[in-house]
Amino acid sequence: MSQTATAGAVPRTQFPVLGAISLSHLINDMMQSLMLAIYPLLKGNLHLSFGQIGLITLTYQITASILQPLVGLYTDRKPRPYSLSLGMGFTFVGLLLLSRADSFGHVLMAASCVGMGSSIFHPESSRVARMASGGRHGLAQSIFQVGGNAGTALGPLLAAAIIVSHGQRSVAWFSAAALVGMVLLALVGRWAAHHLVAARKRAAARPAQAHPPALVRRTMAVRLALVFSKFFYLASINSYLIFFLQQRFAISVRDAQLHLFIFLASVAAGTLLGGPIGDRIGRKRVIWVSILGVAPFTLALPYASLDMSAALTAVIGFVLASAFPAIVVYAQELMPGKVGAVSGLFFGLAFGLGGIGAAALGQLADLIGIVGVYKVCSFLPLIGLLAALLPDLHAPARPAVAQGAGAQGAA
């Protein structure tokens, strides 16, 4: 397929813009992950059950998942690059509320603000990343996403170093990072607004290749099943790894948070490599290996020793995360002309399925224990067998030519 996008593409890959949007993603997701990392603190201070912990995650992620596709659909028609700063502003407010929350209801309010921030930030920032890709869509999506993964990994580390020692109110200290992010995103929005008109003209000069509706529906159904597998399993790690390690090995909260950091850092590394590999060998191959290939490691995790658990979670995070850049770019190429809506849909599904998974697994943990939950979830990656049903939309891309704009997309 010829290089196409709703937002078009600039002649060369704009690494400064991609770096800025990735750094903003790091700040955004770092602040959001603080909420997940301090669950043990909130559980103790407010006397919450596992079910209530799951409902907090559900509130945060459902807020984001419902709004993201709607935001993306709207900005496909009327791009709003300066809305990026607004999204960071919602996260800023959510952090301040979380630092002062003294009841379960107040925590839910803070979680909803953080979710709204994500719903505004992700679709438009994904569009900007594609605009700056110069045709290297997988690479651009990886650079954008790895910032979020790195921020998510830093959250537990900062929580262990600062919030556990200084208490819940120290969450407000991180609001300064939100202000930095708002300024940075204002600059990114200015660049996007400047290039938007020219990008639309380039996109109009290369009409998008439409795919048969039956193929789109069938392929989207398979992809939804794969996303379900990936993010339900990730919910078991993100929300409950700390409790799993504490119950099985009787380690401290601080040590368990370091294990969570190892997992999230490996997720960041996998995300960075998944996109460019998909540009070269094809998105379908990356998705197939990533989701199904992680199954032997997830099946072994509930029975492993403490040291082996750290190694297994690192491998799981790296392999599983490499699929998501390929999933997003594949969907953008399956439905050309709907970059914002597709990005919002899949980022929204990531949040929504993660939230539903966290709530469901929290209820299940109250019934069968957290170790039992990990035994059940270990079979989820086997759903990756469905990747065999995905069509190869296009051949892998050749290395980009000097001007960048002539590079072919890859499926």
Q: Give the model's pLDDT for residue 312.
A: 93
Q: Provide mean pLDDT across the span 127-138.
A: 83
- Name the more confident of 339 and 20: 20
- Name the more confident of 263 and 396: 263
pLDDT band at 260 (very low <50, low <70, confident <90, very high): confident
pLDDT greater than 60 at residue 199: no
Contact 126, 5 (CB under 8 A): no
Q: Give the model's pLDDT for residue 210.
A: 60
pLDDT band at 411 (very low <50, low <70, confident <90, very high): very low
% of the chain with per-residue pLDDT over 70? 87
Q: Give the model's pLDDT for residue 197.
A: 64
* Of 43-47, 69-73, 76-80, 275-279, highest mean pLDDT: 43-47
Instruction: Look up the pTM and report it.
Output: 0.68
pLDDT, tens only, 47-57: 888 888 888 87
pLDDT greater than 60 at residue 402: no
Q: Give the model's pLDDT for residue 301.
A: 92
Task: Round the average pLDDT of the chain to a whole number and report it.
Answer: 79
Q: Give the model's pLDDT for residue 401.
A: 40
> If DSSP states are collapsed to H, E and C, what string results for the chain?
CCCCCCCCCCCCCCHHHHHHHHHHHHHHHHHHHHHHHCHHHHHHHHCCCHHHHHHHHHHHHHHHHHHHHHHHHHHHHCCCCCHHHHHHHHHHHHHHHHHHCCCHHHHHHHHHHHHHHHHHHHHHHHHHHHHCCCCCHHHHHHHHHHHHHHHHHHHHHHHHHHHHHHCHHHHHHHHHHHHHHHHHHHHHHHHHHHHHHHHHHHHHHCCCCCCCHHHHHHHHHHHHHHHHHHHHHHHHHHHHHHHHHHHHHCCCHHHHHHHHHHHHHHHHHHHHHHHHHHHHHCHHHHHHHHHHHCHHHHHHHHHCCHHHHHHHHHHHHHHHHCHHHHHHHHHHHHCCCCHHHHHHHHHHHHHHHHHHHHHHHHHHHHHHCHHHHHHHHCCHHHHHHHHHHCCCCCCCCCCCCCCCCCCCCCC
Instruction: Out of 55-69, 110-124, 363-377, pick the least confident.
Output: 55-69
Domains and CATH numbers, the chain: 15-389 (1.20.1250.20)
